[in-house]
């Protein structure tokens, strides 16, 4: 049974002195500690953070960069906003630790343009860190120097994809790159770069302050630690929750006091939609991985309307360079429109599901690969509802 | 090839991958992989596409092009790699481990078919009304994958107006598949920067700055984008209907000149492999079509050498003998209209470095409407001059307002190799089977020097053959007149010859090392210009620049496709024909001697030639209104 | 701010290039500052930036059109961006949208004649637990209702 009442983030007294501890260790030791903690990327993809850092540490280059991905654009996600505004120290010092671990000189926070109002707070905090010698030259009297610059996004969801983010930092259109080479090798301006989610840096901080073992006692076999979940939609208590990995959807629904629930969208627009019959599934990299967005729909909601909203999102937010994502999402949206009019035959619907599967494996980046998820899961799990519209113009609900 | 891209401005992500050496081999060291269940040894670090190519395994591609940096955008070339959930683009995936690749598994075939279905659903129009019918990569792929219905529908309404504003290039965005080859050509390969992907998502569109018409942006009309467009989204403006009309009009005397590089490439339009010279057959075909006279632009190239070579010697004389510091050296060639527009836009302060010579095409036009008209007793207003060029920029050049020194438009129509081939086909002629015949008098067959104008370095080589001999009285000291430093495909090349034992009248050149430089492709031209600005071309005398990669044999009007290999073959055909010609030097061409005796009587760079054969340039600048 | 004078723009771009540097990686910060100051990025501004960073104007245009918060058309003094993502939609976005359209007499995507207001939709702004939400320039407004929207607009008018 997961430990629900503990918290890594929300108890400030428990935060400890991670930076001090990290700087007393060698970069290799820091990386090993992160590896042992089992920390995996909190943006959703779940790549082992320790491995990422180790690759960047072992890459030979005269410059290296740390990028904090604060382009929190996934619909239904807002936990990074909370971390950045209320637990700033965890994130920023987590970045400094990351910088030390890979021996970088500079870090960027890629802050989404929608969060521009956080800029002042963050800059003030950075200034304070510089004054306290926790940032800048010879941090805490060591030979390690590192500084952080904030860059704003300008309203493009795809820039949350790490290579698109780097393209954007370099002044290009936010179009995902070919991989390999990976950013840990060839990142910002061609230099080794780690791109980690806001929450990942905060977790790294916790790991360094409490130790890998302590962190790893939370969660499941392959998903260690606690996870921040942003809950919105039809429930009494929406907000950010800290839960251990492995929590079932049912438990989460109880926690946020949702009732008359029909469906739960986990992972935002790029996540999957599960019906009530599957609420015993759990949130973890083993079962349902997520960056932290949970949107709840009650029995009054039209799933077709929900789906349309997601597909419109992808049609506009795809970067537009690769065929499966650029055109595929449009075809899926057209399919939704046909369903609304009752014009989509079951045969064509199956064609579209197959197209979705192609998009999942043939798109260039994570955006395109996950964009058909809501389509496939909604039309599969709610087939009776979405196929109920009549060709004679009865628009269902 | 790789060097060129690395130096370019391509974003880091699109450059070739740098691969760190690992235990399992260095870059280039062999590594064992498996493709479709069979073992292969391939060099560490090459892409899957390249590995497959070398082992005769076909992988379809669309956005990939040998000349360009990577995109990995169309996803047509996806393959399956064991152990990786997603399919990978073969064009962009470097082999750095003992991978197992499947190029035609069910997942792969289904994905490719879906991608084609998606592209076709957005591709407006039907094949039979398209200039690229039968030479369209999308069409080929559709056939290859057995597309026999539109799985995801087919767009029924035109969405974009065709942009016909340019003299040279027509853009039809309804046919665009967003492969971005044109973008990579224009920005990275040529560094002109007309086309870029704009907007985002489904609304993504290749467009010009502020969506302005092509005529209003800084396009040099090089047409390299056309050569690399896989579909009919980009094409040249075709004047053949007007030309047919002129041929059919009995009151018009229609003459055609054919540029040196046409003969080396036109066979490809009739299914021949690159590198087959079709000179004689082409002349026969043009007569059969109904042109009243068929002339060889090589004659005008010889004329250009006389004028440009003399101009160079005069500049040297003014500078070295008279100490005139206002003389600009090195002298830059002016044959390539794409290059001329490039320098007018990007380096307007340096126009005085350009030779004032018109290009051979325009010189010939001026000569035809004056000298030839006189000789033949024709009214120049009834002469229609057509120029078959490997070039789309020539269509712009012949419409320059200053190109009318004869009192008439020097050249009425610029036709590309592709358009000429189309006319020949329309006339019911299969070119390769025709008997050979000779160009018409009074300009006759030209020298090999004029012929090699078609390849990068050719103008330089031709000029040196003449200038060296004028100054020293001896032929250039290279075996069989092949000035090898001028040849080859490196982007920027340089060399020199020392002038010894010169004739008395050129004493001031005794012992001088004549230094020259050759560049092709405007990205390389840009490098040369930046070097000039930095003062690094001090001591250089002559620079040849061609706007297109490979020179005219790689021109924007040449048969599609193009690749480094194809361009090399075309160049070889030209050099081979040069080596076999009886006359190899411009000044030895008897027809050139004749025209200076009879018409241009005050000699090269004299008054008459200045009026007819030389021109001036416009400081255009790069601000787009 | 009506169409800025060319000299003003040249000076502005000059200052920004000195502030951020003339590498391509400075492009977005420079464009963001121009957008903030002038309400849009004019074609002259794009060319001037391109010139200073030694890239092509069309590349700048490609970037400006890629990002939703940059625009080539003048925007109003107050840019109102209403979140249209699902959580805000569930929370009552439509009523707020109708109110905005009616009270501003603008459709989504339009800018008022006096260039005071621009009304747009945007995607998730991370206020999903407090929807419907909108941004006015860089300030965020949450738990919107028609009457709250009217109040906000009145305070700006």
Q: What is the pLDDT of residues B511-523, one digit of tens each?
A: 999 999 999 999 9
Mutate to test the interface with A, among C85, C97, C131 (most CBs of A within 10 A): C85
- Position B1 scores a pLDDT of 28
Partners of C129 on chain A (C-beta within 8 Å) are 78, 230-232, 238-240
The superfamily (CATH) of domain A12-216 is NADH-ubiquinone oxidoreductase 51kDa subunit (3.40.50.11540)
Place of tokens 């996806």: B78
A272-275 and A293-298 strand pairing: unpaired
Contact B294, B451 (CB under 8 A): no
A326 pLDDT exceeds 60?
yes
Instruction: List, for residues B318-335, the tens digit of each pLDDT value.
Output: 999 999 999 999 999 999
| A292 shares contact with chain C (CB less than 8 Å) | no
Q: Return the percentage of chain B with pLDDT > 90, whole number.
A: 93
Q: Across chain A, where does the E strand assignment appear?
A: 65-70, 106-111, 147-152, 193-197, 226-233, 239-244, 261-266, 272-275, 293-298
- φ/ψ of B519, rounded to 5, equals -140, 145
B394 counts as catalytic: yes
Partners of C57 on chain B (C-beta within 8 Å) are 193, 209, 624
CA A78 to chain B, closest CA, distance in angstroms equals 24
B355 counts as catalytic: yes
Place of tokens 């329309």: B426
Q: Catalytic residue among B74, B130, B335, B391, which?
A: B335
C6 pLDDT exceeds 90?
no
- d(C-alpha A143, C-alpha A100), whole Å: 10
DSSP chain C: --S--HHHHHHHHHHHHHHH-SSGGGHHHHHHHHHHHHSS--HHHHHHHHHHHTS-HHHHHHHHHHSTT--SS---SEEEEEE-SHHHHHTTHHHHHHHHHHHHT--TT-B-TTS-EEEEEES--S-GGG-S-EEETTEEE-S--HHHHHHHHHHH-
CATH number for the domain whose boundaries are B240-299+361-433:
3.40.50.1780
Overall fold of domain A303-386: de novo design (two linked rop proteins) (1.20.1440)
Contact B178, B58 (CB under 8 A): no
If pLDDT is split at 50, 70 and 90, which confidence band does C39 have? very high
CB-count exposure of residue B325 (10 Å: 0-12, 13-18, 19+): exposed
- Position B327 scores a pLDDT of 96
B219-229 mean pLDDT: 98
- φ/ψ of B433, rounded to 5, equals -90, -5
Whether B110 sits inside 8 A of A354 (CB atoms) is yes
Three-state secondary-structure class, residue B295? strand
B78-81 and A272-275 strand pairing: unpaired
- Please compute, for residue C51, the number of CA atoms within 13 A of its CA located in the half-sphere on the CB side: 16
- Position B18 scores a pLDDT of 42
- Please compute, for residue B183, the number of CA atoms within 13 A of its CA located in the half-sphere on the CB side: 25
B261 counts as catalytic: no
Q: Catalytic residue among B32, B402, B426, B565, which?
A: B402
A52 pLDDT exceeds 80?
yes
C96 pLDDT exceeds 80?
yes
CATH number for the domain whose boundaries are B2-104:
3.10.20.740
Domains of chain B by residue range: 2-104, 116-236, 240-299+361-433, 303-358+446-613
- d(C-alpha A71, C-alpha A78), whole Å: 10
Q: Catalytic residue among B269, B307, B311, B577, which?
A: B311
| Token couple for A41 | 């990327």
- Position A7 scores a pLDDT of 74
- CA dihedral sign of residues B237, B238, B241, B244: positive
- Does B240-299+361-433 match B2-104 at the fold level? no
Closest listed residue to residue B262, CA positions, set B235, B285, B292, B237: B285
CA angle in degrees (0–180, nearest 5) for B404-B408-B412: 90
CA B117 to chain A, closest CA, distance in angstroms equals 10
If pLDDT is split at 50, 70 and 90, which confidence band does C1 have? very low
Closest by Cβ to B202, choosing from A172, A320, A369: A320
% helix / strand / coil in chain A, to the nearest 5?
A: 50, 15, 35
| A264 shares contact with chain C (CB less than 8 Å) | no
B165 pLDDT exceeds 80?
yes
B165 counts as catalytic: no
CB-count exposure of residue B20 (10 Å: 0-12, 13-18, 19+): middle
Domains of chain A by residue range: 12-216, 226-298, 303-386
| C102 shares contact with chain A (CB less than 8 Å) | no
DSSP A212-243: HHHHHTSB-SSSBSEEEEEEEESSSS-EEEEE
- Position B393 scores a pLDDT of 98
Closest listed residue to residue C133, CA positions, set C88, C99, C94, C98: C88
B397 counts as catalytic: yes
- d(C-alpha C43, C-alpha C41), whole Å: 7
Which stretches of B393-552 are DSSP H helices? Answer: 393-397, 417-426, 448-451, 458-472, 522-533
Partners of C89 on chain A (C-beta within 8 Å) are 305, 309
124-163 of A, contacting C, C-beta below 8 A:
151-157
Q: Return the percentage of chain B with pLDDT > 70, whole number.
A: 96
- d(C-alpha A148, C-alpha A135), whole Å: 8
- Position A44 scores a pLDDT of 87
| C71 shares contact with chain A (CB less than 8 Å) | no
**Which chain C residue has the Cα nearest residue A268?**
C86
- d(C-alpha B358, C-alpha A345), whole Å: 66
Place of tokens 């000179």: B279
A108 pLDDT exceeds 70?
yes
The arrangement of secondary structure in C78-156, i.e. its CATH architecture, is: 3-Layer(aba) Sandwich (3.40)
Contact B259, B388 (CB under 8 A): yes
Closest by Cβ to B194, choosing from C47, C55, C58: C58
Contact A379, A279 (CB under 8 A): no
If pLDDT is split at 50, 70 and 90, which confidence band does C5 have? confident
Closest listed residue to residue A152, CA positions, set B220, B255, B161, C35: C35
- φ/ψ of A73, rounded to 5, equals -110, -5
DSSP C40-57: S--HHHHHHHHHHHTS-H
Which stretches of B214-278 are DSSP H helices? Answer: 224-228, 240-248
B11 pLDDT exceeds 70?
no
A226-298 sits in which CATH class? alpha beta
- d(C-alpha A28, C-alpha A32), whole Å: 6
Contact B98, B24 (CB under 8 A): yes
Higher pLDDT among residues B15 and B546, named by residue: B546
If pLDDT is split at 50, 70 and 90, which confidence band does B2 have? very low
Whether B208 sits inside 8 A of C58 (CB atoms) is yes
Q: Which residues of C touch B (CB under 8 A)?
A: 43, 46-47, 51, 55-59, 61-62, 65-68, 72
The superfamily (CATH) of domain B303-358+446-613 is Fe-only Hydrogenase (Larger Subunit); Chain L, domain 3 (3.40.950.10)
A1 pLDDT exceeds 60?
no
Partners of B200 on chain A (C-beta within 8 Å) are 156, 158, 173, 316-320
If pLDDT is split at 50, 70 and 90, which confidence band does B26 have? low
- Position A28 scores a pLDDT of 98
Contact B309, B463 (CB under 8 A): yes
Instruction: List, for residues C128-148, the tens digit of each pLDDT value.
Output: 999 999 999 999 999 999 999
CA A256 to chain B, closest CA, distance in angstroms equals 35
Closest by Cβ to A361, choosing from B14, B111, B202: B111
Residue C89 Cα to chain centre, angstroms: 21
CA B186 to chain C, closest CA, distance in angstroms equals 10
Closest listed residue to residue A70, CA positions, set A53, A85, A52: A85
- Position B82 scores a pLDDT of 97
- Position A111 scores a pLDDT of 98
| Token couple for A327 | 């055109």
If pLDDT is split at 50, 70 and 90, which confidence band does A27 have? very high
The interface predicted TM-score of the complex, written ipTM, equals: 0.96
- CA–CA distances in Å: residue C22 to residues A168, B9, B127, B488, B526: 16, 15, 47, 36, 19
If pLDDT is split at 50, 70 and 90, which confidence band does A16 have? confident
**Which chain B residue has the Cα nearest residue C24?**
B11
| C125 shares contact with chain A (CB less than 8 Å) | yes
A316 pLDDT exceeds 60?
yes
- d(C-alpha A82, C-alpha A90), whole Å: 12
CATH number for the domain whose boundaries are B116-236:
3.30.70.20
Q: Catalytic residue among B277, B334, B355, B359, which?
A: B355
Whether A231 sits inside 8 A of C129 (CB atoms) is yes
Whether A75 sits inside 8 A of C32 (CB atoms) is no
CA B91 to chain C, closest CA, distance in angstroms equals 25
If pLDDT is split at 50, 70 and 90, which confidence band does B5 have? very low
- d(C-alpha B213, C-alpha B205), whole Å: 14
| A111 shares contact with chain C (CB less than 8 Å) | no
If pLDDT is split at 50, 70 and 90, which confidence band does B19 have? very low
**Which chain A residue has the Cα nearest residue C71?**
A154
A9 pLDDT exceeds 90?
no
Instruction: List, for residues C57-88, the tens digit of each pLDDT value.
Output: 999 999 999 999 999 999 999 999 999 999 99
| Token couple for A33 | 């500690």
Instruction: List, for residues A331-373, the tens digit of each pLDDT value.
Output: 999 999 999 999 999 999 999 999 999 999 999 999 999 999 9
Place of tokens 């790699």: B81
CATH 3.40.30.10 domain span(s) along chain C = 78-156
CA B213 to chain C, closest CA, distance in angstroms equals 13
Whether A364 sits inside 8 A of B203 (CB atoms) is no
| B481 dihedral zone (left: phi>0; alpha: psi -120 to 50; beta) | left
Overall fold of domain C6-66: Arc Repressor Mutant, subunit A (1.10.10)
- Position B401 scores a pLDDT of 95
Contact B608, C27 (CB under 8 A): no
Mutate to test the interface with B, among A327, A357, A371 (most CBs of B within 10 A): A327
Q: For the beta carbon of residue C8, count every other beta carbon within 10 angstroms.
A: 12
Partners of C40 on chain B (C-beta within 8 Å) are none
What b/e string do you get for B450-483 counting C-beta neighbours within 10 Å, with b at 16 or more? bbbbbbbbbbbbbbbbbbbbbbbeeebebeebeb
- Position C157 scores a pLDDT of 83
| C56 shares contact with chain A (CB less than 8 Å) | no
Whether cis (ω within 30° of 0) applies to the bond prior to B499 is no
A18 pLDDT exceeds 60?
yes
Average pLDDT, chain A: 94
- Position B346 scores a pLDDT of 97
Average pLDDT, chain B: 94
Whether B196 sits inside 8 A of C62 (CB atoms) is yes
B577 counts as catalytic: no
Instruction: List, for residues B69-111, the tens digit of each pLDDT value.
Output: 999 999 999 999 999 999 999 999 999 999 999 999 999 999 9
Whether cis (ω within 30° of 0) applies to the bond prior to B501 is no
Q: For the beta carbon of residue A190, count every other beta carbon within 10 angstroms.
A: 18
If pLDDT is split at 50, 70 and 90, which confidence band does B126 have? confident
Partners of C62 on chain B (C-beta within 8 Å) are 196-198
């Amino acid at each position: 049974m997961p430990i629900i009442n503990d918290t890594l983030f929300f108890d400030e007294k428990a935060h400890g002195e991670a930076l001090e501890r990290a700087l007393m260790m060698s970069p290799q030791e820091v990386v090993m500690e992160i590896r042992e903690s089992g920390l995996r990327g909190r943006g959703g993809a779940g790549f082992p953070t320790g491995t990422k850092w180790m690759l960047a540490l072992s890459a030979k280059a005269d410059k290296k960069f740390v990028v904090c991905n604060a382009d929190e654009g996934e619909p239904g996600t807002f936990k990074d906003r909370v971390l950045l505004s209320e637990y700033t120290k965890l994130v920023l010092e987590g970045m400094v630790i990351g910088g030390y671990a890979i021996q970088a000189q500079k870090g960027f926070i890629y802050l989404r343009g929608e969060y521009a109002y956080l800029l002042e707070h963050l800059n003030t905090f950075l200034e304070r860190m510089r004054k306290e010698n926790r940032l800048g030259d010879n941090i805490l009297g060591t030979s390690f120097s590192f500084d952080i610059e904030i860059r704003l996004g300008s309203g493009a969801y795809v820039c949350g994809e790490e290579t698109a983010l780097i393209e954007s930092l370099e002044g290009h259109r936010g179009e995902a790159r070919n991989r390999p080479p990976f950013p840990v090798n060839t990142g910002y301006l061609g230099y080794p770069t780690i791109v980690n989610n806001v929450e990942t840096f905060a977790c790294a901080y916790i790991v360094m302050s409490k130790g890998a073992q302590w962190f790893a006692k939370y969660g499941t076999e392959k998903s260690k630690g606690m996870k921040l979940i942003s809950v919105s939609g039809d429930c009494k208590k929406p907000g950010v929750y800290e839960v251990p990995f492995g929590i079932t959807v049912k438990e989460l629904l109880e926690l946020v006091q949702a009732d008359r629930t029909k469906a739960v969208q986990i992972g935002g627009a790029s996540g999957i939609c599960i019906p009530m019959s599957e609420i015993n599934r759990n949130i973890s990299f083993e079962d349902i991985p997520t960056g932290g967005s949970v949107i709840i729909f009650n029995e009054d909601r039209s799933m077709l309307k929900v789906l349309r909203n997601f597909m419109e999102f992808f049609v506009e937010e795809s970067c537009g360079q690769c065929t499966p994502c650029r055109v595929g999402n449009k075809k899926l949206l057209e399919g939704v429109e046909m369903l609304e009019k009752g014009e989509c035959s079951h045969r064509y619907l199956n064609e579209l599901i197959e197209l979705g599967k192609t998009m999942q494996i043939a798109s260039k980046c994570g955006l395109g690969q996950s964009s058909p998820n809501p389509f496939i899961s909604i039309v599969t799990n709610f087939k009776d509802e979405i196929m109920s519209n009549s060709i004679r113009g009865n628009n269902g609900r | 090839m790789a060097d060129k891209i690395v130096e370019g401005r391509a974003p880091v992500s699109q450059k070739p991958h740098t691969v760190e050496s690992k235990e399992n081999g260095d870059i280039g060291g062999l590594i064992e992989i498996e493709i479709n269940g069979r073992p292969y040894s391939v060099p560490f670090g090459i892409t899957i596409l390249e590995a497959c190519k070398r082992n005769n395994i076909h992988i379809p591609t669309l956005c990939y092009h040998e000349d360009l940096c990577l995109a990995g955008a169309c996803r047509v070339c996806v393959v399956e790699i064991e152990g990786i959930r997603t399919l990978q683009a073969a064009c962009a995936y470097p082999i750095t481990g003992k991978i197992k690749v499947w190029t035609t598994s069910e997942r792969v075939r289904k994905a490719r078919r879906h991608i084609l279905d998606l592209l076709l659903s957005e591709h407006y129009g039907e094949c039979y009304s398209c200039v690229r019918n039968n030479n369209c990569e999308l069409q080929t792929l559709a056939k290859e994958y057995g597309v026999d219905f539109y799985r995801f529908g087919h767009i029924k309404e035109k969405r974009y107006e065709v942009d016909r504003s340019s003299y040279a290039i027509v853009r039809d965005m309804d046919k665009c598949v967003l492969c971005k080859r044109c973008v990579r050509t224009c920005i990275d390969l040529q560094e002109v920067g007309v086309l870029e992907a704009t907007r985002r998502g489904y609304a993504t569109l290749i467009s010009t700055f502020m969506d302005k018409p092509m005529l209003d942006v800084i396009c040099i009309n090089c047409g390299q984008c056309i050569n690399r467009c896989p579909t009919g989204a980009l094409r040249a403006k075709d004047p053949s209907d007007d030309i047919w009309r002129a041929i059919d009009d009995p009151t018009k005397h229609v003459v055609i000149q054919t540029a040196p590089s046409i003969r080396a490439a036109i066979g490809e339009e009739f299914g021949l492999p690159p590198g087959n010279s079709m000179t004689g057959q082409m002349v026969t075909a043009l007569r059969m079509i109904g042109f009243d006279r068929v002339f060889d632009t090589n004659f005008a190239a010889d004329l250009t050498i006389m004028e440009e070579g003399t101009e160079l010697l005069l500049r040297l004389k003014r500078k070295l003998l008279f100490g005139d510091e206002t003389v600009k050296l090195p002298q830059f060639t002016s044959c390539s209209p794409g290059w001329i527009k490039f320098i007018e836009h990007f380096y307007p302060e340096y126009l005085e470095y350009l030779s004032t010579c018109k290009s051979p095409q325009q010189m010939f036009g001026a000569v035809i409407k004056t000298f030839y008209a006189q000789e033949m007793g024709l009214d120049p207003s009834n002469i229609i001059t057509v120029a078959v060029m490997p070039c789309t920029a020539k269509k712009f050049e012949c419409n320059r307002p200053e190109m009318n020194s004869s009192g008439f438009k020097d050249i009425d129509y610029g036709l590309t190799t592709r358009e000429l081939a189309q006319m020949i086909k329309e006339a019911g002629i299969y070119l390769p089977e025709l008997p050979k015949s000779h160009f018409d008098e009074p300009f006759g067959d030209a020298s090999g020097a004029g012929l090699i104008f078609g390849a990068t370095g050719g103008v330089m080589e031709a000029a040196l053959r003449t200038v060296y001999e004028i100054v020293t009285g001896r032929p250039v000291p290279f075996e069989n007149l092949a000035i090898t430093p001028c040849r080859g495909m490196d982007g920027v090349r340089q060399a020199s010859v020392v002038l010894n034992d010169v004739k008395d009248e050129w004493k001031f050149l005794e012992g001088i090392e004549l230094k020259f430089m050759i560049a092709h492709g405007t990205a390389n031209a840009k490098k040369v210009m930046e070097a000039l600005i930095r003062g690094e071309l001090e001591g250089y005398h002559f620079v040849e620049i061609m706007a297109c990669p490979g020179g005219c044999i790689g021109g924007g009007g040449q048969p599609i496709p193009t690749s480094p290999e194809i361009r090399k073959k075309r160049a070889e055909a030209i050099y081979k024909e040069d080596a076999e010609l009886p006359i190899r030097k411009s000044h030895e061409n008897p027809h050139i001697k004749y025209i200076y005796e009879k018409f241009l009587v005050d000699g090269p760079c004299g008054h008459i030639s200045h009026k007819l054969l030389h021109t001036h340039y416009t400081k255009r600048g790069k601000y787009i209104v | 701010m009506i169409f800025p004078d060319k000299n003003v723009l040249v000076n502005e771009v000059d200052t920004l290039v000195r502030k951020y540097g003339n590498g391509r990686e400075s492009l977005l910060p420079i464009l963001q500052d121009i957008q903030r100051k002038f309400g849009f990025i004019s074609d002259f501004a794009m060319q001037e930036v391109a010139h200073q960073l030694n890239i092509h104007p069309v590349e700048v245009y490609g970037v400006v059109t890629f990002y939703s918060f940059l625009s080539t058309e003048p925007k109003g003094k107050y840019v109102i961006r209403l979140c249209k993502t699902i959580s805000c939609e569930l929370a009552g976005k439509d009523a707020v949208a109708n109110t905005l359209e009616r009270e501003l007499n603008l459709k989504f995507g339009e800018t008022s004649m006096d260039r005071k207001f621009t009304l747009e939709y945007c995607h998730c702004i991370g206020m999903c637990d407090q929807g419907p939400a909108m941004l006015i320039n860089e300030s965020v407004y949450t738990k919107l209702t028609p009457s709250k929207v009217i109040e906000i607009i009145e305070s700006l008018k």
